[in-house]
């Protein structure tokens, strides 16, 4: 009887420890998941230099993007306009900042009073992502039919998978897999200029 109870207790401990191991090792922390998604999307641009994410303190991390292309004076502010900001992960914040190669901060592009914010956003997307191999083009969305209301601007991406190791025990290789449009949706914003313009994403149809 004592042996049976010991076996049951041992089995319960093994199950609990196994469950805890799965919970602890199931996924990378969400802020590192965000960084890897950022690298798999924005980081595909070869004119950018993005070092390893920096831990500012226990609750703050920072992704630094250095714009190094010949047209950095155009791409830098547009890209900053697209990705600059803070992302909260339950008390841990990831800041995204954009810089010139010599470390001068690049301010996010903002429309002037006379600018159409939707046209401004479309141009900002086209400029900021012009060297990214996953990006196809940006088009106007909006209201196109009785049952079809889309964001003001639609960014179109190639039909490609973004994948990276994420300590995901549900996957054989512990990787995470996202189509490019969904990966980009996680690193850009859906609203810009205090809600004056909205951004959506989609995938270019495959040509057969």
Q: What is the pLDDT of residues 176-191, one digit of tens each?
A: 999 999 999 999 999 9
Q: Which two tokens stand for residue 88?
A: 């909260």
- Model confidence, pTM: 0.85
Residue 155 in any domain: the answer is yes
Residue 14 lies in a domain: no
Q: Band of the pLDDT at 199, cuts 50, 70, 90?
A: very high
Let me know: does 154 contact 181? Beta carbons within 8 Å.
no
Q: How far apart are CA 41 and CA 101, in angstroms?
A: 20
Let me know if residue 17 belongs to a domain: no
- Which structure tokens are listed for 51? 């070092």
Instruction: Say if 8 falls within a structural domain.
Output: no
**pLDDT surpassing 90 at residue 6:** no
Which domain covers residue 39, as residue numbers? 27-203
Q: What Rg do the C-alpha atoms of the chain give, in angstroms?
A: 22
Residue 6 lies in a domain: no
For all residues of the chain together, what is the average pLDDT?
A: 89
pLDDT of residue 148: 75
The predicted structure's pLDDT at residue 206:
85
Q: Has residue 144 got a pLDDT over 80? A: no
Quote the pLDDT of residue 5: 53
Inside any domain, residue 11: no
pLDDT surpassing 60 at residue 3: no
Q: Is residue 181 part of a domain?
A: yes
Write out the two tokens for 208: 């057969």
pLDDT of the residue at 4: 52
Q: From the centroid of its chain, how far is CA 158?
A: 16
**140 within domain boundaries:** yes
What is the number of structural domains in the chain? 1
End-to-end Cα, the chain, rounded Å: 68
């Amino acid at each position: 009887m004592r042996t049976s109870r010991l076996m049951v207790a041992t089995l319960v401990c093994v199950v609990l420890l196994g469950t805890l191991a799965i919970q602890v090792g199931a996924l990378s922390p969400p802020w590192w998941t965000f960084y890897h998604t950022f690298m798999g999307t924005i980081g595909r641009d070869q004119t950018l230099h993005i070092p390893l994410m920096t831990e500012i303190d226990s609750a703050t991390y920072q992704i630094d993007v250095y714009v190094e292309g010949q047209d950095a004076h155009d791409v830098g502010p547009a890209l900053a306009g697209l990705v600059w900001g803070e992302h909260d992960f339950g008390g841990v914040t990831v800041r995204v900042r954009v810089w010139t190669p010599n470390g001068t901060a690049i301010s996010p592009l903002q429309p002037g009073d006379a600018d159409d914010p939707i046209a401004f956003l479309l141009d900002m997307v086209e400029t900021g992502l012009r060297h990214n191999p996953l990006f196809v083009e940006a088009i106007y969305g909006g209201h196109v039919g009785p049952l079809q209301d889309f964001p003001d601007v639609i960014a179109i991406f190639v039909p490609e998978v973004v994948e990276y190791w994420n300590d995901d025990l549900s996957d054989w290789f512990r990787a995470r897999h996202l189509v490019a449009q969904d990966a980009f949706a996680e690193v850009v914003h859906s609203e810009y200029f205090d809600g004056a313009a909205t951004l959506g994403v989609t995938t270019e149809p495959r040509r057969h």
